[in-house]
Structure 1
Amino acid sequence: MFSSLKIRNYRLFAAGALISNTGTWMQRIAQDWLVLTLTGSASAVGITVALQFLPMLLFGLYGGVLADRLPKRPLLLGTQSAMALTGLALAVLTLSGQVQVWHVYLTAFLLGLVTVVDNPARQTFVSEMVGPDQLANAVSLNSANFQSARLVGPAVAGVLITAVGSGYAFLFNGLSFLAPIAALLLMRTADLHGSVRTPRGKGQLREGLRYVSAHPELIWPIVLVGFVGTFGFNFPIWLTAFVHEEFHAGAEAYGLLNSLMAVGSLAGALLAARRGASRLRIMVGAALLFGALEALAAFAPGFWLFALLMVLVGMFGLTVNVTANSSIQTATDPAVRGRVMSLFMMVFVGGTPIGGPLFGWLTDVYGPRVSLAIGGLISLVAAVAVGLLLARAGNLRLKVDLRRGRKHLAFVPRQQKERLTAAA
């Protein structure tokens, strides 16, 4: 489960990321709650989230081109430093009492611009640290790392916001980027696995898109992740609205819900790390359960049942993301991996500028329960459709066997059906 942590460079990277991720989760909670208290509107929270991810939708593929073209370690030193500055700027504005909602919008957009380059560079740098044999394990542990921070960050942020306000959460986030910057500086460059750097040239963006379109094992997971990310991952809107409107609680309850979701997400990431190999059928099955549980949670009558369902939603949602991420990375030629992963991230988080305002409006007009149910049902339908398309691309059919001791549902090659018919 933890085999890639034997590698020194990856251990440094993981330790720095854990501290930085904790600060990131603290800022996310503080940012959402600050916007809600400044405006009293779920739509405003949706706009904030949308602005943070809009640059990924607009420029995400160009970030992948840069990640393929430039050395990743120096590139990450630059992006991590820039992200630290956005956190510190928001901290100064909030602690000085000058913060307005447009300040939050602006810093969210600037953070999104940096993420356009940081995300594909960080995703593909993993293979340089651990090599191809440990890539799937390291991708899973990256997600476990992010979710471990999510256990701590929201809970601490909830207490901190209640006690002294949002400004100190932003300050901690800005300072937390010192940890990954130090980790990158302390790495042994001789131990890194060399990667093919793409020279500057024309048509590199189109080349990446053509590569993905020619491989069904890449395009359909990206499509599924796009639907799930756009319509099923609007938790800043849903959780703030459920806490505020349905359960009549405060920032501490919001932080607790995020931490409980992280418990499930962490379990999903560790189970993925233990499996090692990434199977697309696991991704599709997890997406089915994710959508169904989200729709069910929409009608939970009380806080604790809702919280329990959010743990399961977190587990299966993370399983979808990790399985798609690692299967795409391992199936992609290293020369185009940055562009493919930028498309993956663009589709996953770039749909937020569409989903955020849409589900913010649905939440304001029809309430959080209807909004969450719609998001879950769309994710469920998308999982069914992509599962059928992948089965068709792999020339598979669904076999149902209700006999005791047999696997009741399984995908088998279509030729097997023909052989059985001939034998009969």
Structure 2
Amino acid sequence: MPPPSHTASIFQPLRHARFRQLWMANLLSNLGSRMQAFAAAWQIASLSQSPQLTALVQTATWAPMLLFALPAGALADTLHRPTLLFRSNAVMAVAAVAMALLAYGGGQPVPALLLLTFVMGAGMAFTMPAWQASMSSLVPLHEVESAATLNNLSYNLAALAGPALGGVLFQLSGAGPLYLFNAVSFSALLWIYRQWRPAETPRAATPEASHQGMASALRISCASPRYRSLLMYAMGIFFVSAAFAALLPLLHPNAGTYGSLMGALGAGAVAAAVVLPAVRQ
């Protein structure tokens, strides 16, 4: 692929109506997801007082990415992407409603919270490949990098605001409103995906195509020494950061402090996104 003839500004992709709608809806959904993640981790830490069970929140969140990301990427290449995105987000919305019902009902068993957290993680694992591929198809080639930066900015802004806001709301009203907000936050995305489905031609999906896609991904990845090194570095960094996040709820006495610290992680990510272009140069 030849390099783009010029570099687009970071906000240029927002001129495209479909991308702008999806970006704004995804920002709202990311905010709800970060608030839900905060509430689940703090609840389980408070209910169990167990480092092992508290650490399982991170396991339940990210194990689906390890298990399902490769088949999800193959499905994103073979299935009708708006339909796949609609269904995976609908599953996450249902899981969020179930968490809210548990919270408002007063029964909040730790195994059920962990199971629903796993379902949320599975929905995200099937969403991410199709989402990233769809976003790059909604803007011209020279705006793809700006679109990717905007998508990362959406996630990091939610990581900054979601836990901090969640900590305040949790102290005022408990976990129920946070789970309910997360369930409602999917509504805009689901509406857009439903409108988008007839506008894109469905793909003819076959099991053979999915299997070939996964085999090709593994073959190409293993054949590149530089890519293998990149994966190893990423795995090492993620292992340490996930372990830190897993034990963070146990180190501080109240939800507000924990939310502020999670928000500080998001603030660092936003600052890095601003500094990164200069570092690359």
Q: Taking structure 2 as the reference length, what is the TM-score of the superposition?
A: 0.87
Matched-pair identity in %: 28
Structure 1: which amino acid aligns with 2:271? Answer: A
Give the one of 135, 138, 146 matched to 2:144.
135
Is the contact made by 2:55 and 2:247 (CA closer than 8 Å) also made in structure 1? Answer: no
**Could you tell me how far apart the structure 1 residues matched to 2:242 and 2:57 are?**
15
**Could you tell me how far apart the structure 1 residues matched to 2:140 and 2:197 are?**
15
User: What are the within-5 Å matches in structure 2 for residues 141-220 of structure 1?
Assistant: 141-186=150-195, 200-201=207-208, 202-220=211-229
| Structure 2 equivalent of residue 413 of structure 1 | none
| Structure 2 equivalent of residue 253 of structure 1 | 257
Is the contact made by 1:2 and 1:141 (CA closer than 8 Å) also made in structure 2? Answer: yes
Asked which structure has the greater RCO (Cα within 8 Å, sep 6+), the reply is 2
**Could you tell me how far apart the structure 2 residues matched to 1:134 and 1:212 are?**
26
| Structure 2 equivalent of residue 22 of structure 1 | 31
Once the 2 structures are TM-superposed, how far is the Cα of residue 24 of structure 1 from its aligned partner? Answer: 0.5
Give the one of 45, 49, 52 matched to 2:54.
45
**Could you tell me how far apart the structure 2 residues matched to 1:218 and 1:88 are?**
40
Once the 2 structures are TM-superposed, how far is the Cα of residue 112 of structure 1 from its aligned partner? Answer: 2.3
Is the contact made by 1:42 and 1:240 (CA closer than 8 Å) also made in structure 2? Answer: no
Cα 1:71–1:53, aligned 2, differ >3 Å: closer, same or farther? same
User: What are the within-5 Å matches in structure 2 for residues 362-401 of structure 1?
Assistant: none
Once the 2 structures are TM-superposed, how far is the Cα of residue 117 of structure 1 from its aligned partner? Answer: 1.3
Cα 1:3–1:234, aligned 2, differ >3 Å: closer, same or farther? farther
Is the contact made by 1:141 and 1:269 (CA closer than 8 Å) also made in structure 2? Answer: no
Q: How many residues align?
A: 270
User: What are the within-5 Å matches in structure 2 for residues 52-71 of structure 1?
Assistant: 52-71=61-80
**Could you tell me how far apart the structure 2 residues matched to 1:199 and 1:135 are?**
29
**Could you tell me how far apart the structure 2 residues matched to 1:188 and 1:59 are?**
23
SS in 2 for 1:234: helix
Cα 1:156–1:233, aligned 2, differ >3 Å: closer, same or farther? same
Cα 1:271–1:198, aligned 2, differ >3 Å: closer, same or farther? farther
Is the contact made by 2:25 and 2:188 (CA closer than 8 Å) also made in structure 1? Answer: yes
Give the one of 269, 292, 295 matched to 2:273.
269
Once the 2 structures are TM-superposed, how far is the Cα of residue 168 of structure 1 from its aligned partner? Answer: 1.2
Once the 2 structures are TM-superposed, how far is the Cα of residue 23 of structure 1 from its aligned partner? Answer: 0.5
User: What are the within-5 Å matches in structure 2 for residues 315-330 of structure 1?
Assistant: none
Give the one of 80, 86, 91 matched to 1:82.
91
Compute the RMSD of aligned alpha carbons: 2.5
Once the 2 structures are TM-superposed, how far is the Cα of residue 180 of structure 1 from its aligned partner? Answer: 1.5
Once the 2 structures are TM-superposed, how far is the Cα of residue 182 of structure 1 from its aligned partner? Answer: 2.4
Structure 2: which amino acid aligns with 1:137? Answer: S
Is the contact made by 2:56 and 2:246 (CA closer than 8 Å) also made in structure 1? Answer: no
Is the contact made by 1:9 and 1:188 (CA closer than 8 Å) also made in structure 2? Answer: no
Structure 2: which amino acid aligns with 1:171? Answer: L
Give the one of 101, 105, 114 matched to 2:123.
114
**Structure 1: runs of 5 or more not aligned:** 244-248, 283-424
Rg larger for: 1
Structure 1: which amino acid aligns with 2:260? Answer: L
Structure 2: which amino acid aligns with 1:259? Answer: G
**Could you tell me how far apart the structure 1 residues matched to 2:198 and 2:225 are?**
36
**Could you tell me how far apart the structure 2 residues matched to 1:39 and 1:150 are?**
25
**Could you tell me how far apart the structure 1 residues matched to 2:226 and 2:202 are?**
23
Once the 2 structures are TM-superposed, how far is the Cα of residue 68 of structure 1 from its aligned partner? Answer: 1.2
